[in-house]
Structure 1
Amino acid sequence: MSEDTTIAEKEIHNTLFYCNFFIRNIGLSFIDEIPTTYARKIIVFSSFVVVFCFLVLLLLGQIIFIIILMVNSVSVEQFIGGSNLHVFGYGIMCFGKLLTLWYKKNTFRQVVKELADIWPIVETNPEVVIIKDNSLKTLRSREIAYIAWNVLGVWFFILTPVMLHLYRLARGTPSNLGLVWRLYYPFDATKPFIHEFVYVFEIISGFACVCCMLGSDIFFISMTNHISMLLRLLQDKIKSLGQEDERGSIIQPLDCYDEIVAVVQIHQRLIRYANDLEDAFSAVNLINVLLSSVNICCVMFNIVFLDPLMEVSNKLFLGAALTQMGIVCWYADEIYRASIGVSDAVYESGWYNCNIRCRRALLLMLQRSQRPLYFTALKFNTITLNTYRSVLTTSYSYFTLLYTSYRQD
């Protein structure tokens, strides 16, 4: 491995620091060394199995609880508020992302490794340095904001029963410590020792959900950010092809075929990386699009009409839901616009100064780059900022429907 590749891997790994922190907690990693000893393999696999089982039990408990409410034909407000439907939707999204991370772990590790081969290390061009620095700084700030919403949200959900219990005791009101989530248990969860065990189970389940959500989303936006950044840097290289040098006008047609082949190879690799991410996250993106509208609608309904004691937690959940879908759509739109920009860069290059062979090569690249890179929701819909607008519009439509039903009751 060359020194430049080592430096590139180190920089890429630094951008995946937060991602790796969360997915380590679920027994996965795309940048750590692959376990070689049986003991280490057992520890890593056991971590994944434990998280998997916790999420399965959590979802089963929520599903049975929701079915019981439906069988009892409760009112709209009792169903939305009593089932914490938005939390159930969040759990489904987390479980889907856990399966995606596990199923595609080898693909993700390979993409991270191969990305180092074309990662910009030492650049003398100030424009390249500015693009790279701004891209990485913006990525880090958005990651921190997104992490804050999710971590604060789960902490408030977990601590709300404790704070309510202490508040009632301080006022001299009889009180029992409640639970975090609305689940069905085939036993009496209020009995001593059993209640403490159940409460710990719900705390661990909540943090497992957050680790799955953050690990998957941060990896997605980080790799999408890197690919779109490299596409923008590629545009600068393309624009410089065939341009006049310091000596003035060009008399003989230029032969820059080798340079064109180099940028075409980089372009093809970036397309392949983007397609790998698209294949891996296509099903997850469908779950995001379908459930985000429902989650946002239900949590807004709880905030406006129901459960004032959980208002702070629900507001943090709303912020996390809006940020989660928004940041995914933003970076999906980024890679779309960056891929479209490649065709513009070919047109803005000095193709008119090149010989026929070079012009033909550039024409082929122009034709290929006019097919933009898209992330999709399982091929049903492309993910762009228009998708985010559609999610918000749909959420509002659902909310008005619930509002009408609530007022009629």
Structure 2
Amino acid sequence: MSSNIIAKQEIYKSLKLCNFCTRKIGFSFIDEKSISFVPKVLSLVLFFGSTLILFLKLAGQMDYAINKLVTSASVVEFVAGLHIIGYDTMSFGKLLTIWYKKDIFRNLINELADLWPTSSHDKDSVEIKQKKLSSLRIGQFSYAFWNILGLWLYNLTPVVIYVYRKIQGAPAQLGYIWHLSYPFDKTQPVYHELSFVFEICGGMVSVWAMLGSDILFMTMASHISMLLQLLQLKIRHLGTLEYDRHNDQYKCKDCYRDIISVIKIHQKLIMYGNNLEDAFSVVNLINVLLSSVDICCVVFNILLDPWMAMSNKFFLGAALTQVGILCWYADDIFTSSSGVANAVYESSWYQNNIRCQRALLVMMQRSQKPLYFTALKFSSITMSTYSSILINSYSYFTLLYTVYRSD
């Protein structure tokens, strides 16, 4: 089996959970493209159906929020569903973006196979690879767990409240999952059930779109970070000493070709990272803009709505995890690419000839401009961005809570 096939198998395995989510909304980045008519039509129907459901859900939520803003003076009623509106807006934007750029992402995944390490001879390289893949699997599972568990807590909360009130002998009526406006009377028997089913489907589509986009990002970012760390390992091994029998002494072997090979790998990783940044820049902008508002609104609702407190707490965990993952993996690439310059300095450059030293110096100068993801070129994303989002969320919350207390 060729190394390219092995590389693709390992990459596809790391994207298994992402592929599971994107299949639910009608497309895939790693499945073979179908040439028959029926599967193509079914995929398009599933995608456009998912897009329509999510669009209608988002439109209904916005209409509800605007009506409350106009007709009600209550801050609580207006803010009640804003965090869900923010989540669905991010999901809708991500759904359209990853579908529009699905061929770009497919090409990036295939190109990654050319850089993927498949050798098992170097124990240090294998250890780095296994450690990164293991932490990636844990991150994928944790993120999916928060989102899916939070979704089903929202879905089941109206049912639990209904059953609880029935047991207590109090008047009970099955409520709704989200705060939506409908063009019909949703309290009527048939419309009530249809609305409840629609809200379940809308929540599921929103979560699948969010997971598909974010797991793809964290997977690709983790792989680039791993390749940069392996590159650092190769650089540190440059310029090893060898024994000269004629002069009975150790001397540094000429490693100019090895240096050129490492430089070419570094250039490919830079180009690959820039292409990935361009593909995700719109999605990253949506994340950075809306995350602070989402966190602020859900914390406010946790304080004021005891019935939905548990569901909102899981939503808060998902929101914090979601933006934390974005900043963590973006910061990981920034740190790994910056570490290339340190690796050059820690190599045996001083034992090499002038030609090798000049090549290493050029590489060091280039690596001092590290790779980083941006929010549509407006600002770079690192862990400092995460702290800024949390600070902004707290500022919005204190302002909102002050307005509420003054009413």
- CA gap of 1:249–1:151, structure 2 versus 1, over 3 A, is farther
Contact preservation (8 Å) 1:254, 1:355? no
Q: Residue 13 of structure 1 aligns with which residue? A: 12
Q: Residue 396 of structure 2 aligns with which residue? A: 398
Q: Residue 130 of structure 1 aligns with which residue? A: 127
Q: Residue 211 of structure 2 aligns with which residue? A: 214
Equivalences for residues 166-205 of structure 1 within 5 A:
166-205=163-202
Matched residue type, 2:39: R
- Taking the aligned partners of 1:177 and 1:272, their CA distance within structure 2 comes to 54
Equivalences for residues 289-304 of structure 1 within 5 A:
289-304=288-303
- Taking the aligned partners of 2:323 and 2:28, their CA distance within structure 1 comes to 24
Report the alpha carbon displacement of residue 130 of structure 1 after superposing the two structures with TM: 1.2
> After TM superposition, where is structure 1 displaced by more than 4 Å over at least 4 residues in a row?
246-251
Q: Residue 264 of structure 1 aligns with which residue? A: 263
Matched residue type, 1:274: G
Q: Residue 282 of structure 1 aligns with which residue? A: 281
Report the alpha carbon displacement of residue 250 of structure 1 after superposing the two structures with TM: 4.8
- Taking the aligned partners of 2:366 and 2:384, their CA distance within structure 1 comes to 24
Q: Secondary structure at the match of 2:307?
A: helix
Contact preservation (8 Å) 2:243, 2:250? no
- CA gap of 1:246–1:227, structure 2 versus 1, over 3 A, is farther
2:381 to 383, 391, 409: 383
Q: Residue 330 of structure 1 aligns with which residue? A: 328
Matched residue type, 2:8: E
Q: Residue 37 of structure 1 aligns with which residue? A: 36
Q: Residue 154 of structure 1 aligns with which residue? A: 151
Q: Deviations over 1:210-261 (max 9, x none)?
A: 001111111100110000001000001111112223669654x643222122
Q: Residue 108 of structure 1 aligns with which residue? A: 105
- Taking the aligned partners of 1:87 and 1:249, their CA distance within structure 2 comes to 71
2:118 to 112, 118, 121: 121
Between 361-370 and 321-330, report the one with greater CA deviation: 361-370
Contact preservation (8 Å) 2:242, 2:253? no
- Taking the aligned partners of 2:272 and 2:192, their CA distance within structure 1 comes to 48
Matched residue type, 1:334: D
Q: Secondary structure at the match of 1:309?
A: coil
Report the alpha carbon displacement of residue 380 of structure 1 after superposing the two structures with TM: 1.3
- CA gap of 1:198–1:249, structure 2 versus 1, over 3 A, is farther
Q: Residue 71 of structure 2 aligns with which residue? A: 72
Report the alpha carbon displacement of residue 79 of structure 1 after superposing the two structures with TM: 1.3
Q: Deviations over 1:277-305 (max 9, x none)?
A: 2111112111111111111111111111x
- Taking the aligned partners of 2:257 and 2:101, their CA distance within structure 1 comes to 35
Report the alpha carbon displacement of residue 198 of structure 1 after superposing the two structures with TM: 1.4
Q: Deviations over 1:34-92 (max 9, x none)?
A: 111111111111111111111111111111111111211422222112xx100000000
Segments of structure 1 that go 5 or more residues without pairing to the other structure are none
Report the alpha carbon displacement of residue 19 of structure 1 after superposing the two structures with TM: 0.6
Contact preservation (8 Å) 1:107, 1:276? no
- Taking the aligned partners of 2:98 and 2:242, their CA distance within structure 1 comes to 48
Q: Residue 58 of structure 1 aligns with which residue? A: 57
Matched residue type, 1:230: L
- Taking the aligned partners of 1:65 and 1:30, their CA distance within structure 2 comes to 36
- Taking the aligned partners of 1:302 and 1:78, their CA distance within structure 2 comes to 10
Contact preservation (8 Å) 1:339, 1:369? yes
- Taking the aligned partners of 2:192 and 2:249, their CA distance within structure 1 comes to 82
Q: Residue 95 of structure 1 aligns with which residue? A: 92
- CA gap of 1:246–1:23, structure 2 versus 1, over 3 A, is farther
Report the alpha carbon displacement of residue 97 of structure 1 after superposing the two structures with TM: 0.8
Matched residue type, 1:403: Y
Q: Residue 354 of structure 1 aligns with which residue? A: 352
Q: Deviations over 1:308-361 (max 9, x none)?
A: 110110000000001111111111100000000111111222222333332222
CA RMSD of aligned residues (A): 1.5
- Taking the aligned partners of 2:403 and 2:70, their CA distance within structure 1 comes to 19
Segments of structure 2 that go 5 or more residues without pairing to the other structure are none
Matched residue type, 2:26: G
TM-score scaled by length of structure 2: 0.96
- Taking the aligned partners of 1:259 and 1:387, their CA distance within structure 2 comes to 37
1:340 to 338, 341, 352: 338
- CA gap of 1:246–1:104, structure 2 versus 1, over 3 A, is farther
Contact preservation (8 Å) 2:240, 2:253? no
- Taking the aligned partners of 2:341 and 2:328, their CA distance within structure 1 comes to 21
Matched residue type, 2:242: D
Q: Secondary structure at the match of 1:185?
A: coil
Contact preservation (8 Å) 1:374, 1:383? yes
Tell me the number of residue pairs that the alignment of Structure 1 and Structure 2 aligns: 404
